[in-house]
Amino acid sequence: MSVGKKFKIASIGAGNVGASVAQYCLELELGDVVLTDIVEGLPQGKALDMTQAGPIRGYSCQAVGTNDYKDLAGADLVIITAGLPRKPGMTRLDLLEKNGGIISGICENVKQYAPDAIVIVVTNPLDTMVYLAHKKLGFPPNRVIGMAGCLDSARMRAFVAMELGVSMKNVDTMVLGSHGDDMVPLPQYTVVSGIPITKLMPQDRIDAIVDRTRKGGGEIVQLLKTGSAYYAPAASAVRMAQSVLRDEKQLLPCAAYLTGQYGLDDIFMGVPCILGKDGVERIVELDITEAEKASLHKSAEEVRTGIKQLQELGLL
């Protein structure tokens, strides 16, 4: 990937997440955006609307909408958001069969029309879908990444800032594991301007924040009643895209392909990654407690269950 050129970004899925991804990319002037969806008129209308906001919002990148995957040709980066959202009472695994079929079809087209792209997957159940995408695409694993820990860490950052009455900009966190109720927030790696939260709040408040982080997506689903979160998931995917396209080498928690790190192999899980022009350029292994490692492996079992179900469904 040549840093410095004008990039072409494909956002696949023009629903709430995909449209927000496109808008954030334009606002940051990361590149021109191709908004793709199977619903005729939907991506075209939203893309035209976003482009017309450019003179007011001060960006010069443009968006185009399409129903034809051929328009992905030459895309440098693809963000896949298409799929059914989680609804009240549904687990992420409930979405497996339908979203698995959607992801499989999308990946066949990405493989054909954007074979050199770096791909970020947002569709749930996240860790299982990014594994499926990797297998269907056949791309090197560093070029297929799942958006998970970025979002979970952002939620924890927000909760810590709200609890302490500090700026969210001063809070850094790290959340590992699968993007679900078995995720592994790490309080010892959660700091406010370098000060661990263990020095700033009692353990019961830390425990409450960890629990709320784990249930962060479900809390929003229950409030919305007819859909799931989209502003923060889209912002998280675009944060990853920014680090890749601008070769920033940011250390971000993402679902990456593991080959023995943290004692896990042949699985995508949320771990700290250095993201640059080649995608996942390095996975960082943190010093975690035995209890946290056990939680991480429990989290992995949920993902392996999803992979096994994909195999039983004939999707893998």
Q: Domain ends where: 146, 167, 189?
A: 146
Catalytic residue (one of 92, 143, 157, 179): 179
Are 172 and 120 contained in the same domain? Answer: no
Read off the tokens for 277.
Answer: 């022009």
Domain of 25, CATH number, reads 3.40.50.720
Residue 173 C-beta-side C-alpha neighbours within 13 Å: 28
Q: Which regions in the chain score pLDDT beneath 50?
A: none
Domain of 158, CATH number, reads 3.90.110.10
Return d(Cα 21, Cα 15) in angstroms, integer: 10
Model's pTM, two decimal places? 0.95
Q: Tell me which residue range forms the domain holding 37.
A: 7-146
Q: DSSP assignment of 153-169, as one string?
A: HHHHHHHHHHHHT--GG
Sheet of strand 195-196, all strands in order from the earlier edge strand to the far edge: 171-172, 191-192, 195-196
**What is the model's pLDDT at position 148?**
86
Cis peptide before 125 (omega within 30 of 0): yes
Residues sharing a CB contact under 8 Å with residue 165, sequence separation 6 or more, in sequence order: none
**What is the model's pLDDT at position 146?**
98
**What is the model's pLDDT at position 156?**
97
CA distances from 275 to 98, 139, 245, 249 (A): 30, 17, 9, 5
* Phi, psi of 66, rounded to the nearest 5 degrees: -155, 155
* Contact indicator for 270, 234 with CB cutoff of 8 Å: no
**What is the model's pLDDT at position 122?**
96
**What is the model's pLDDT at position 95?**
78
Are 137 and 162 contained in the same domain? Answer: no
**What is the model's pLDDT at position 139?**
98
* Phi, psi of 95, rounded to the nearest 5 degrees: -85, -5
Burial class (CB in 10 A: 0-12, 13-18, 19+), 213: buried
Read off the tokens for 156.
Answer: 């924890």
Read off the tokens for 284.
Answer: 């960082």
- pLDDT tens digits, residue range 89-105? 766 667 788 999 999 99
**What is the model's pLDDT at position 30?**
98
Number of structural domains in the chain: 2
To the query of whether residue 179 is one of the catalytic residues in this protein, the response is: yes
